[in-house]
């Protein structure tokens, strides 16, 4: 016994000395293991991806063109090693990374950064369908699985500072109805991290806007119990331009507005380019009072070049050499000169909870959050209660799924054969009502809508949708069978609908997109730009009981004359 203990202790000691200190949050502040305040002195570290064609729905919601692809910056040890000396020269202790591919290996980059005192703040969403879609928001099984896969690929690295569950999902008052879905994502990811013993922080990065919008959203996402609030609230802020000052940049107003936010806040992007040169005088302000009383540092945008001029280095065409700009040198000087106050002391901080804001002219987000995505229920419904299933080739095309969902829901809505609607797969974040299948994947939602249509018009050609659908080999024989199967599937739902999700069966690659590069100014990518499933906005969504649900699907319609050439 004694002999075997010695090497074990030795190993433990070694790994302790090598690990970067854990950063935790107490109330509004971050602390390291010694109890010193931790400030994020960061730089965005994500090569720019290609911009996606902006969808109508996205534009209508004030969205920026979103990236359609990404390059994982933590998957190439050569590149991380190439960049390390420059990150050190900048004096950063953190990099913010917007999109990674969870099936690649990140060991070497993470170790290179860890060995040099650099934490990683990682966004877990991906471009396009890998993020909550602000124009048709939903917190669904496919996103939960994708987030968990990425978290599982990273949570054991000692230098993971936190996981961001969204970047600029909400861009203006009219899409604050996506708020409950973002908050549900924070809730479920926090529960997951806790269940696997991880103390990583959970964050969200917000778009800037006028004070009412900015403050209401920050209050909303940080209010209520610890179980549902984000730990790290980031503001992407570009208001300090040229040789501005605390007072004339508007930072004074921001600091005042975030004073009572009960969690750690930081500038998750900063560095205005509109009054060049960038002097980075905001760095001195960020790391001293009064800003440091409220904010815990920030992430300068951006290390890598961007098409609109935010980059601070260029990389030679062979990918081997890095050239820095004057912006880079000025930022390095500013970062190196910071000496932020080590106060308040951790022991003096009391964690406070805030009351959630009511809906108002600047916030149309309900405090009633959607349930935890329940894959078991969705799969059960798909297998046992649906008659018409989307083909897997179509399921892999988010754009077609989005179009067909609109089409099928519209067919149902205009049906003369009853009151069928897509309510069970929709939701309303303003009303705080969520259909029972609102958390299922887009493909299962589509199969639901197609099956409901088929039930009204039960001839084979009703389940064709121009070759995109096929009759289920395990379809229920009668509407009554469908009803009881649905009811049975739904009965496994835990009371209240909220539970701790678990890792995806079958490993971490089950929910990847085929997309690749990111990194415009808003490179985190939040909207889909692909599927504009308007199911949530047609009709009057409400929570559907299992009775109402199978009421819809159980209505056997007569065959509509004319054979219905669908699409
Ligand atoms: C949604 O998609 C449908 C079908 O492609 C299209 O006709 C409609 O204009 C789109 N709506 C928005 C708001 O983009
Ligand atoms: C910043 O500090 C680091 C060491 O902490 C140093 O390597 C680097 O050269 C400094 N950069 C500047 C611009 O002073
Ligand atoms: C910036 O403004 C301050 C005073 O507001 C002034 O002292 C300083 O010289 C200015 N710096 C530049 C580079 O313009
Ligand atoms: C900003 O303005 C206020 C009120 O005019 C003043 O008290 C304060 O000293 C100024 N702050 C800075 C950092 O200049
Ligand atoms: C390494 O960086 C170069 C230049 O930025 C880039 O072209 C290349 O794709 C990167 N390699 C990997 C594996 O990401
Ligand atoms: C929200 O509205 C209710 C009812 O009008 C009121 O009692 C409560 O104080 C309000 N809450 C906040 C945070 O303003
Ligand atoms: C599926 O639907 C899309 C339109 O929404 C159509 O373009 C396509 O031809 C259909 N069939 C197949 C097999 O993809
Ligand atoms: C997004 O779509 C791709 C197919 O284009 C799919 O492989 C991937 O699983 C989807 N991601 C999510 C989160 O649904
Ligand atoms: C992740 O990398 C694998 C292996 O290179 C690739 O097949 C897959 O398409 C990538 N996924 C994404 C989302 O880029
Ligand atoms: C969602 O609910 C709100 C308030 O409860 C309502 O005003 C709004 O019209 C609903 N949205 C849709 C798309 O039905
Ligand atoms: C469904 O609608 C068609 C066409 O309007 C009608 O002929 C048929 O009787 C309806 N079936 C039912 C069950 O109401």
CB-based contact 153:141 (threshold 8 Å): no
Ligand 1 centroid to residue 428 C-alpha, Å: 19
Return the residue whose CA atom lies nearest to atom 7 of ligand 9.
Answer: 514
Sequence length of the chain is 567
Ligand 1 centroid to residue 439 C-alpha, Å: 22
Annotated active-site residue in 66, 146, 269, 375: 269
Residues 6+ apart with CB under 8 A from 245: 281, 285
Return the residue whose CA atom lies nearest to atom 10 of ligand 6.
Answer: 358
**Nearest-angstrom CA–CA distance, 465 and 121:** 43
Domain boundary assignment for the chain = 6-348, 375-563
Annotated active-site residue in 146, 168, 219, 282: 168
By CB atoms closer than 10 A (0-12, 13-18, 19+), residue 339 is exposed
- The verdict on whether 269 is a catalytic residue reads yes
Task: Decide whether 6-348 matches 375-563 in CATH topology.
Answer: no
The minimum-distance atom of ligand 9 relative to the CA of 70 is 14
Tell me the CATH number for domain 375-563. 1.20.58.1040
Ligand 8 centroid to residue 140 C-alpha, Å: 12
The minimum-distance atom of ligand 4 relative to the CA of 290 is 13
Ligand 3 centroid to residue 239 C-alpha, Å: 17
| Ligand 8 within 6 A of CB of 373 | no
Architecture in CATH of 6-348 = Alpha-Beta Barrel (3.20)
pLDDT at 412: 86
| Ligand 6 within 6 A of CB of 416 | no
pLDDT 10s digit of each residue in the chain, 567 long? 344 434 444 444 444 447 899 999 999 999 999 999 999 999 999 999 888 777 766 666 666 677 888 999 999 999 999 999 999 999 999 999 999 999 999 999 999 999 999 999 999 999 999 999 999 999 999 999 999 999 999 999 999 999 999 999 999 999 999 999 999 999 999 999 999 999 999 999 999 999 999 999 999 999 999 999 999 999 999 999 999 999 999 999 999 999 999 999 999 999 999 999 999 999 999 999 999 999 999 999 999 999 999 999 999 999 999 999 999 999 999 999 999 999 999 999 998 899 999 999 999 999 999 999 999 999 999 999 999 999 999 999 999 999 999 999 998 887 665 557 899 999 999 999 999 999 999 999 999 999 999 988 888 999 999 999 999 999 998 878 888 999 999 999 999 999 999 987 544 333 322 222 222 223 232 222 233 222 222 222 223 343 444 444 433 222 222 222 223
By CB atoms closer than 10 A (0-12, 13-18, 19+), residue 376 is exposed
Ligand 11 centroid to residue 416 C-alpha, Å: 7
| Ligand 6 within 6 A of CB of 357 | yes
For a substitution probing ligand 10, which of 540, 542, 543 has the most ligand atoms within 8 Å of its CB?
Answer: 540
- The verdict on whether 282 is a catalytic residue reads no
CB-based contact 513:127 (threshold 8 Å): yes
| Ligand 2 within 6 A of CB of 91 | yes
């Amino acid at each position: 016994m004694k002999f075997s203990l010695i090497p074990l202790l030795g190993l433990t000691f070694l790994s302790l000395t090598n690990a970067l200190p854990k950063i935790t949050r107490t109330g509004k502040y971050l602390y390291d293991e010694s109890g010193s305040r931790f400030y994020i002195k960061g730089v965005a570290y994500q090569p720019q991806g290609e911009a996606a064609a902006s969808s109508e729905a996205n534009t209508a919601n004030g969205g920026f063109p979103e990236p359609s692809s990404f390059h994982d910056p933590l998957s190439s040890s050569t590149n991380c090693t190439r960049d390390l000396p420059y990150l050190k020269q900048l004096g950063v202790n953190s990099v913010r990374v917007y999109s990674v591919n969870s099936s690649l290996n990140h060991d070497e980059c993470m170790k290179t950064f860890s060995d040099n005192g650099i934490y990683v703040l990682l966004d877990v969403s991906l471009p396009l369908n890998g993020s909550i879609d602000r124009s048709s928001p939903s917190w669904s099984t496919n996103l939960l699985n994708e987030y968990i896969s990425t978290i599982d690929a990273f949570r054991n690295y000692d230098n993971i500072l936190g996981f961001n569950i969204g970047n600029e999902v909400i861009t203006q008052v009219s899409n604050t109805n996506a708020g409950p879905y973002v908050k549900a994502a924070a809730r479920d990811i926090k529960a997951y991290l806790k269940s696997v013993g991880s103390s990583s922080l959970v964050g969200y990065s917000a778009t800037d806007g006028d004070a009412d919008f900015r403050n209401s959203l920050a209050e909303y996402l940080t209010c209520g119990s610890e179980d549902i609030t984000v730990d790290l609230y980031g503001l992407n802020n570009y208001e300090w331009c040229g040789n501005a000052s605390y007072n004339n940049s508007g930072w004074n107003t921001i600091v005042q507005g975030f004073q009572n936010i009960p969690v750690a806040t930081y500038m998750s992007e900063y560095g205005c380019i509109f009054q060049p040169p960038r002097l980075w005088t905001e760095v001195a302000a960020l790391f001293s009072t009064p800003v440091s009383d409220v904010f815990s540092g920030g992430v300068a945008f951006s290390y890598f070049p961007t098409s609109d001029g935010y980059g601070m280095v260029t990389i030679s065409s062979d990918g081997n050499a890095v050239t820095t700009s004057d912006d880079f040198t000025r930022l390095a000087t500013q970062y190196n000169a910071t000496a932020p106050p080590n106060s308040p002391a951790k022991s003096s901080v009391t964690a406070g909870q805030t009351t959630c804001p009511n809906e108002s002219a600047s916030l149309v987000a309900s405090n009633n959050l959607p349930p935890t995505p329940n894959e078991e229920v969705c799969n059960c419904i798909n297998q046992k209660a649906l008659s018409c299933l989307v083909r897997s080739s179509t399921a892999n095309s988010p754009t077609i799924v989005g179009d067909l969902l609109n089409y099928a829901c519209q067919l149902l809505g205009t049906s003369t054969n009853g009151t069928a609607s897509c309510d069970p797969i929709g939701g309303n974040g303003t009303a705080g009502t969520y259909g029972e299948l609102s958390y299922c994947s887009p493909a299962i939602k589509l199969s639901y809508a197609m099956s409901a249509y088929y039930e009204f018009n039960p001839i084979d050609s009703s389940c064709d949708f121009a070759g995109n659908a096929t009759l289920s080999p395990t379809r229920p024989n009668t509407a009554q069978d469908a009803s009881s199967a649905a009811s049975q599937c739904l009965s496994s739902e835990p009371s209240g609908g909220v539970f701790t999700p678990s890792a995806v069966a079958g490993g971490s690659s089950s929910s990847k997109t085929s997309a690749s590069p990111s990194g415009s100014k808003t490179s985190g990518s939040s909207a889909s730009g692909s599927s504009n499933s308007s199911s949530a906005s047609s009709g009057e969504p409400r929570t559907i009981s299992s009775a109402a649900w199978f009421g819809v699907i159980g209505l056997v319609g007569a065959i509509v004359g004319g054979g219905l050439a669908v699409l």
